[in-house]
A and B are shown apart, each in its own frame.
Chain A
Amino acid sequence: MGVVKIKKDFHEARWCEPIIYEMSTPGQRGILVPMPDDEVKEAAGDVLSAIPANLRRKELNLPEMDQKHVLQHYIRLTQETLGANLTNDISEGTCTMKYNPRVNEDLAANPNFAEVHPLQDEETVQGILEIHYKFEQIIKEISGLDRVTFQPGGGNHAVYTAASVVRAYWESKGELDKRDEVITTIFSHPCDAATPATAGFKIITLYPDKDGFPDIEALKAAVSERTAAIFMTNPEDIGLYNPRVDEFVKIVHSVGGLCFYDQANANAFLGVARAKEAGFDMCHFNVHKTFGTPHGSSGPANGAFCCKEEFAKFLPVPTVGFDGKKYFLDFNHPESFGKVRDFWGTAGVILRAYAWTMMLGAEGLRECADISVINNNYFEKKLLTIPGLSECFAGNGHRRQEQVRYSWEKLKEDTGVGTVEVANRAVDYGIPHYWFSHHPWEIPEPMTLEPCETYSKDDLDEYYEVLKQVSKEAYETPEIVINAPHKAAAHKRNDEAALDDPEKWATTWKAYVRKHGNK
C-alpha cells in the first residue's frame, strides 16, 4: 500500500438535510401499491364499511414525497454515516469492527433465503436448516461445548438466554429461592450484570486486583451456597487474559454454582483457547462480531449461546436437528424455558457467518486470531509513544491480547482536553468516534481500541498519526480540539442537558414541534 497520510483535508458530507416531515408536499407519492382488479373489487364490495366507525383511520400524518426525493434524502443520510467498511474503524473497541464481505450480502439477498417464510414445510427449507446445522457444528468445535442455539438476537440477548438457562436449572432442582446471586466482574460487559438482574438474580460485582485481573480473593469471599452462577468475560474489556480463569471456574463449581463465559470478543482466540478447556458450562459468541457479519447500525445481530449437554434440555425451542437424511426443527427440549425470540432467530446473520467461516476454514480462523493480536501489540507499542497517552495497568508485565484500554488522563491534566474531545477531533480526520469504556469509567479518560485482522499496517499507522496529531493540537491549540468536530456531518450539541429534560427532549418529530415549535 501507499505512504501513510493523515487525512488533513477530510470533510464528511454535510447535507444539512431537513427532517423528512419538513420535505413533505401534499399529494406526492413515493410508490404506488398494486390494487386488485375490478372483478375483485366488485365481488368484495365496500370492505371498509365492515370496520366500526370509531375504529376507522381518520388521518395519518406521514410525509408525502416523490420517490427520487426519498431516495436522495436517505442516500444523503448514508453519506453522513461513517460505516466500518468505508473507514478506519479500529475505533470501536470491544465491537470487533472487521470487514463485512460483499459476497455475503449477495448471498443474503438470494430469493431462496430472503423470500423464505419461517413456517414453510421443512422439506422446502432444507438448505437454510442445513446451514444452521453445519454452523452449529463449527461453533461447537470453536467453543468445545456440546449444543448451540442461534435464537438470541444479539450478544446481550444471548447472555440473557444464559441467565434464563441458569434460572431454569435451579428451578428444576427446586433451589431457585436459595440460589439467587450471580457474580460478575466490573470489566465484564454491563449485560453480564443487567441480564441476570432482569432474570431475577442479585448481582455481586468483583473489582480488579493491582494487576488488572479480577480479584480471586474477592471471588472466594463472594461465593456461597447462594451462588447461582458467575458471568464473566476473559479477556475483559481491557485486553488482559486472566491466566487463572480456570481457578475462577473451580471456585464457583466448588459451591455448586454454574459458570458462563461471555465470549463477545472471541476473535483473538479462534483455535487458540476455548470455553471447554477453562471448564465453563456455557458460553456465547457475538456472531456479528467474531464471524464477520455487518453490525447494521446496531443490528440485526445474533448471539450464539453454547452449553454442555446437561443444560441442552433447558434451551429455547426449537434447535436444528438432523436425522441422517433430513434436517428438522427440534422442539424436543423437555425442560425448555420457552423462547427468547419469535420464530428461529436472525437467520441472515447465520447465513453470512457460515459463508464467512467457510471462506477461511480452520487455518484462516487461526490467522484471524494471530493477526488481531499482532496488530494490537504493534499498535499499542506505537500509541504509547504519544504524549499524554497511557494504558491501564501499565507495566504489569502482561501482554495485551486483542484490544487495549488506554487513558488520556495525563493529557487531560496537562491540557484540559479529555477523551471525549479527542474522539470528536479524530472525526475531523475521517476516523469514526472511538469507544471510551462501558460505565462506570474505572479508568480515567478511557479509550478502547481494537485493531482486528482486517486492518492493514497502513491503517494502524494512520490511526497512530491521527492520535499523535490530536495530542499535539491539545498541547498547542487546545481550543481546536475542545470545539471539535469541525468537519463532521454535524457540530457539537449545544445543550447536553436538553436530552435529560422532559420539557425539552424529543424522540419524535411531533414531540419536537410541540415543545420547540416548527422553525
Chain B
Amino acid sequence: MSKPIVYPYIPNSVPEEKQKLLKEIGIDSVEDIFKEIPDHLRFKGKMNIPEPFLSEYELRRHVEGLLAKNKNCKDYINFLGAGTWQHYVPSVVDEIISRDEFLTAYVVGDAQGDHGKWQALFESASMIGEMVGMEAVNKPTYDWANAIAIACRMAARMTGRREIFVAGTISPGRLSVVKNYCKPEIKVELLKYDKETGLLDLTDLKARISSNTGAVYFENPSYLGFIETQGEEIAKIAHDNGAELIVGVDPSSLGILAAPADYGADLVVGDYQPLGLHMQWGGGLAGFVCSRDDKRYVAEYPGLLYGITTSVKEGEYCFGEVFFERTSYASREKGKDFIGTTTALWGIAAGVYMALMGPQGFRDLGEGIMQRVAYAKGLLAKIKGVKVDVIKSPVFKEFVVNFDDTGMTVGQINKALLDHKIFGGKDISQEFPEYGQSALYCITEVHTREDLKKLATALEQIVKGL
C-alpha cells in the first residue's frame, strides 16, 4: 500500500496524529463514529471526481491554464455595463479586503473581538447613507436586485398594500429577481415610458396608482443610461396616494447627481459594485438598502443593522445589532423575510473606496465620465448608419446606440468588434425590441481618448464592411 498522503490543509492527516486522536477517543477507526449512519444510507466506494493536483504549483498551473481561455477587459477595450461596470479599483481597496483578518472573519464574532469589522461596516453604511441622503442603512445585500426586492416587501408590509409599480425601463435581470421575491402576494406591474425620452409616463402612473399601491420604483440613472428628471413629480404622485417611493441608483453618479432623498425617495437601493469592486464575471455585486431613520422603516428591514453605541470604558465606541428581534435569525419564520451570509466584504471594499474618493473624487469621476460620453457620442454620430441620440435625455455613463441603418445586427457588430479587441455594448434588441438593433454602451473613467477613437474607427470599418 502506498504511503498515505499528508495534506497541507489537514494537520491531523499525519497518520501518527490521527492514531493518537483515535486512541484518546478509545476507538479503532473512524467507522466507529460513522456507524451512526445506517449502512443503506452510506455512500459506497470512491467518488468519481477528477484526480487532484496535490502540489500547489500543479494546481496553479491547472487553474491558470483554464483561466487563460478567458479574455479580459484589461487586454480588450470594454464597453459593456448594464449592471456590472468597469471602474478603476484603487490598490488600497484590494489590499484591505485581501487581508486575512477581514477576508476570513465571519458573522458570529461580537463587536469586541471583531470590533474592526463592525466599525468598517458601520462606516460603509454611514458613507453610502450620505451619498443617497439617508440615515438608516442595512448590511450589504446579495445585489441591487435583491435590494429592490427587499425594499418592495418592506413597503408592502408598511402600507399593507400588495401592488408595486416599476418603471418599464428597469433592468430585465433585476426585474426577474424582484418578481420572484414578490411572489406570491405582491403584484409587480410595469409602467409605460416615453420611447423618445425614456422618461416615466406620468399619465400612466396617475391613471393606475391607487390605494392598493404600496410603492413606486424607478432607477436613476436608468438601466438604459438616461437620467430620470421627474423624480419630484413621481414622488408627489406616490405620496399623494399613500405609496412609498423607492429609487434605485448607481452610486458612481452621486458626485454630480442629487441624492434621491432630496427629490423625495423614501427608500433608496443600488449596488456597491461600481465603488471599488472588480467585475469578476458578475460576482462583484453587493446591494444596499437605505431609508429614513424612522422606526416605521427600520422595523421592516430583514437584514442585520450594524449600530454604534458606547462601551463600559469612557469615550470608547462599541457596536452591536440594532433591533435584532425583527430578523429571521432571532424569530425564524416570524422574522421579516430572511437573512443570511450576503456580501459584507464587498461592503467594506466600497467603504474604503468612498473614503479614498471623498467628495471631490466623486465630482471628478462624474464630470469626467460625462465628458467622455459626450465626446464618444460625437465620434460615433459621424459614422454612417449609427445613431446615438436614440433616447433624447441627458445620460450619465451609459447610452443607447442604434445600428438599424447599418443593415447589421448588434450581434454581428459585436462579433466583428472582437477582432479589434473590443467588447461592444450590450445587445438590447431582445430586451427592448422597440429600439431595434440597439446596444447599451458604457463609458467610465477607465477609457482614454484613444480607446474611444479606436471604438469609432473599428465601428466605421465594420459598418463599411471593411
Min Cβ gap B454→A in Å is 14
When the two chains form the complex, which single residue of A60, A241, A364 contacts B37, counting CB atoms closer than 8 Å? A241
A70 interface residue, CB < 8 Å from B? Answer: yes
Q: Please state if B67 and A44 are interface contacts (CB–CB under 8 Å).
A: no
Interface string of A288-305 (1 = CB under 8 A from B): 100010111111110000
B residues near A195, Cβ cutoff 8 Å = 338
When the two chains form the complex, which single residue of B94, B106, B263 contacts A298, counting CB atoms closer than 8 Å? B106
In the assembled complex, the Cα of A134 lies from the Cα of B332 at a distance in Å of: 35
Interface string of B367-408 (1 = CB under 8 A from A): 110111111001000000000000000100000000000000
Min Cβ gap A207→B in Å is 13
In the assembled complex, the Cα of A364 lies from the Cα of B6 at a distance in Å of: 9
- A sample of 6 cross-chain residue pairs with beta-carbon separation below 8 angstroms, ordered by A number, consists of A31-B361, A44-B373, A63-B358, A153-B146, A295-B341, A492-B318
B residues near A473, Cβ cutoff 8 Å = none
A residues near B324, Cβ cutoff 8 Å = 499-500
In the assembled complex, the Cα of A342 lies from the Cα of B120 at a distance in Å of: 26
**Quick one: given A299-B345, A368-B10, are A54 and B371 in contact (CB under 8 Å)?**
no
Q: Please state if A33 and B365 are interface contacts (CB–CB under 8 Å).
A: yes
B66 interface residue, CB < 8 Å from A? Answer: yes
In the assembled complex, the Cα of A368 lies from the Cα of B9 at a distance in Å of: 9
Q: A492-B318, A500-B325 are in contact. List 8 more A-B contacts (CB 8 A).
A: A64-B360, A112-B71, A118-B282, A125-B70, A164-B180, A337-B180, A341-B142, A439-B329
A254 interface residue, CB < 8 Å from B? Answer: no
Q: Please state if A44 and B374 are interface contacts (CB–CB under 8 Å).
A: yes
A residues near B161, Cβ cutoff 8 Å = none
A residues near B86, Cβ cutoff 8 Å = 115, 117
B residues near A274, Cβ cutoff 8 Å = 43
**Quick one: given A80-B115, A92-B108, A490-B111, are A128 and B22 in contact (CB under 8 Å)?**
no
Q: Please state if A117 and B63 are interface contacts (CB–CB under 8 Å).
A: no
B461 interface residue, CB < 8 Å from A? Answer: no
Q: Please state if A491 and B316 are interface contacts (CB–CB under 8 Å).
A: yes
Q: Tell me the B131-185 residues at the A interface (CB within 8 Å).
A: 131, 134-140, 142-146, 153, 171, 173-174, 176-177, 179-181, 183-185
A334 interface residue, CB < 8 Å from B? Answer: no
In the assembled complex, the Cα of A95 lies from the Cα of B146 at a distance in Å of: 23
Q: Tell me the nearest residue of chain A to B310, going by C-beta.
A: A494
When the two chains form the complex, which single residue of A67, A70, A377 contacts B25, counting CB atoms closer than 8 Å? A377
Q: Please state if A241 and B320 are interface contacts (CB–CB under 8 Å).
A: no
A residues near B47, Cβ cutoff 8 Å = 141-142, 270-271, 362, 365-366
Q: Tell me the B26-56 residues at the A interface (CB within 8 Å).
A: 26-27, 30, 32-38, 40-43, 46-54, 56
Q: Please state if B309 and A498 are interface contacts (CB–CB under 8 Å).
A: yes
When the two chains form the complex, which single residue of A113, A424, A511 contacts B280, counting CB atoms closer than 8 Å? A113
Min Cβ gap B327→A in Å is 9
B113 interface residue, CB < 8 Å from A? Answer: yes
In the assembled complex, the Cα of A97 lies from the Cα of B222 at a distance in Å of: 41
B residues near A3, Cβ cutoff 8 Å = none
Q: Tell me the B432-446 residues at the A interface (CB within 8 Å).
A: 445-446
Q: Tell me the nearest residue of chain A to B67, going by C-beta.
A: A112
B residues near A381, Cβ cutoff 8 Å = 24-26
Q: Please state if A52 and B229 are interface contacts (CB–CB under 8 Å).
A: yes
Q: Please state if B114 and A82 are interface contacts (CB–CB under 8 Å).
A: yes
Q: Please state if A75 and B113 are interface contacts (CB–CB under 8 Å).
A: no
Q: Please state if B73 and A115 are interface contacts (CB–CB under 8 Å).
A: yes
Q: Tell me the nearest residue of chain A to B113, going by C-beta.
A: A427
When the two chains form the complex, which single residue of A28, A63, A199, A349 contacts B283, counting CB atoms closer than 8 Å? A349
Q: Tell me the A479-498 residues at the B interface (CB within 8 Å).
A: 483, 485, 488-496, 498
Q: 9 closest Cβ contacts across the A-B interface?
A: A156-B340, A343-B282, A361-B52, A118-B282, A80-B116, A30-B356, A77-B116, A194-B328, A296-B345
A residues near B345, Cβ cutoff 8 Å = 294, 296-300
Q: Please state if B37 and A31 are interface contacts (CB–CB under 8 Å).
A: no
B residues near A295, Cβ cutoff 8 Å = 104-107, 341
Q: Tell me the B327-364 residues at the A interface (CB within 8 Å).
A: 328-333, 335, 337-346, 348, 351-352, 354-364
A29 interface residue, CB < 8 Å from B? Answer: yes
B466 interface residue, CB < 8 Å from A? Answer: no
In the assembled complex, the Cα of A75 lies from the Cα of B116 at a distance in Å of: 9
Which of B121-129, B189-197, B210-218, B238-246 forms part of the interface with chain A? B121-129
Min Cβ gap B294→A in Å is 8
A83 interface residue, CB < 8 Å from B? Answer: yes
**Quick one: given A112-B72, A457-B21, A493-B311, are A367 and B368 in contact (CB under 8 Å)?**
no
Q: Please state if B281 and A116 are interface contacts (CB–CB under 8 Å).
A: yes
A residues near B143, Cβ cutoff 8 Å = 153, 341-342
B residues near A196, Cβ cutoff 8 Å = 333
In the assembled complex, the Cα of A243 lies from the Cα of B36 at a distance in Å of: 7
Min Cβ gap B15→A in Å is 11
Interface string of A160-201 (1 = CB under 8 A from B): 100010010000000010000000000000110111111110
When the two chains form the complex, which single residue of A73, A83, A297, A340 contacts B180, counting CB atoms closer than 8 Å? A340
When the two chains form the complex, which single residue of A59, A130, A199, A346 contacts B69, counting CB atoms closer than 8 Å? A130
In the assembled complex, the Cα of A56 lies from the Cα of B362 at a distance in Å of: 13
When the two chains form the complex, which single residue of A83, A106, A368, A439 contacts B104, counting CB atoms closer than 8 Å? A83
A273 interface residue, CB < 8 Å from B? Answer: yes
| Residue among A116, A134, A339 having the largest count of chain B Cβ atoms under 10 Å | A116
Q: Please state if B106 and A297 are interface contacts (CB–CB under 8 Å).
A: yes
Q: Please state if A510 and B33 are interface contacts (CB–CB under 8 Å).
A: no
**Quick one: given A299-B344, A378-B21, are A294 and B339 in contact (CB under 8 Å)?**
no
B3 interface residue, CB < 8 Å from A? Answer: no
A355 interface residue, CB < 8 Å from B? Answer: yes
When the two chains form the complex, which single residue of B12, B108, B142, B325 contacts A374, counting CB atoms closer than 8 Å? B12
Interface string of A134-158 (1 = CB under 8 A from B): 1001100110100000000111110
| Residue among B262, B308, B367, B452 having the largest count of chain A Cβ atoms under 10 Å | B308
Q: Tell me the nearest residue of chain B to A125, going by C-beta.
A: B70
A residues near B48, Cβ cutoff 8 Å = 141, 362
B residues near A355, Cβ cutoff 8 Å = 59, 63
Q: Please state if B328 and A130 are interface contacts (CB–CB under 8 Å).
A: no
A residues near B321, Cβ cutoff 8 Å = 499
Q: Please state if B9 and A116 are interface contacts (CB–CB under 8 Å).
A: no
Q: Please state if A194 and B145 are interface contacts (CB–CB under 8 Å).
A: no
A residues near B70, Cβ cutoff 8 Å = 112-113, 116, 124-128
Q: Tell me the nearest residue of chain A to B345, going by C-beta.
A: A296
In the assembled complex, the Cα of A167 lies from the Cα of B180 at a distance in Å of: 10
Which of A221-229, A386-394, A408-416, A501-509 forms part of the interface with chain B? A501-509
A384 interface residue, CB < 8 Å from B? Answer: no
In the assembled complex, the Cα of A71 lies from the Cα of B333 at a distance in Å of: 41
Min Cβ gap B108→A in Å is 5
When the two chains form the complex, which single residue of B114, B185, B344 contacts A433, counting CB atoms closer than 8 Å? B114
Q: Tell me the B72-110 residues at the A interface (CB within 8 Å).
A: 72-76, 78, 80, 82-84, 86, 88, 90, 92, 94-110
Min Cβ gap A199→B in Å is 7
A462 interface residue, CB < 8 Å from B? Answer: no
Min Cβ gap A102→B in Å is 8
B202 interface residue, CB < 8 Å from A? Answer: no
Q: Please state if A110 and B126 are interface contacts (CB–CB under 8 Å).
A: no
A residues near B232, Cβ cutoff 8 Å = 54
A98 interface residue, CB < 8 Å from B? Answer: yes
| Residue among B50, B88, B174, B304 having the largest count of chain A Cβ atoms under 10 Å | B50
**Quick one: given A83-B100, A153-B343, A338-B176, are A367 and B7 in contact (CB under 8 Å)?**
yes
Q: Please state if A194 and B445 are interface contacts (CB–CB under 8 Å).
A: no
B residues near A116, Cβ cutoff 8 Å = 70-73, 279-281
When the two chains form the complex, which single residue of B26, B298, B446, B449 contacts A37, counting CB atoms closer than 8 Å? B449
Q: Please state if B67 and A128 are interface contacts (CB–CB under 8 Å).
A: yes
Q: Tell me the nearest residue of chain B to A106, going by C-beta.
A: B60
Q: Please state if B281 and A39 are interface contacts (CB–CB under 8 Å).
A: no
Q: Please state if A30 and B358 are interface contacts (CB–CB under 8 Å).
A: yes
Q: Please state if B17 and A297 are interface contacts (CB–CB under 8 Å).
A: no
In the assembled complex, the Cα of A399 lies from the Cα of B29 at a distance in Å of: 13
A477 interface residue, CB < 8 Å from B? Answer: no
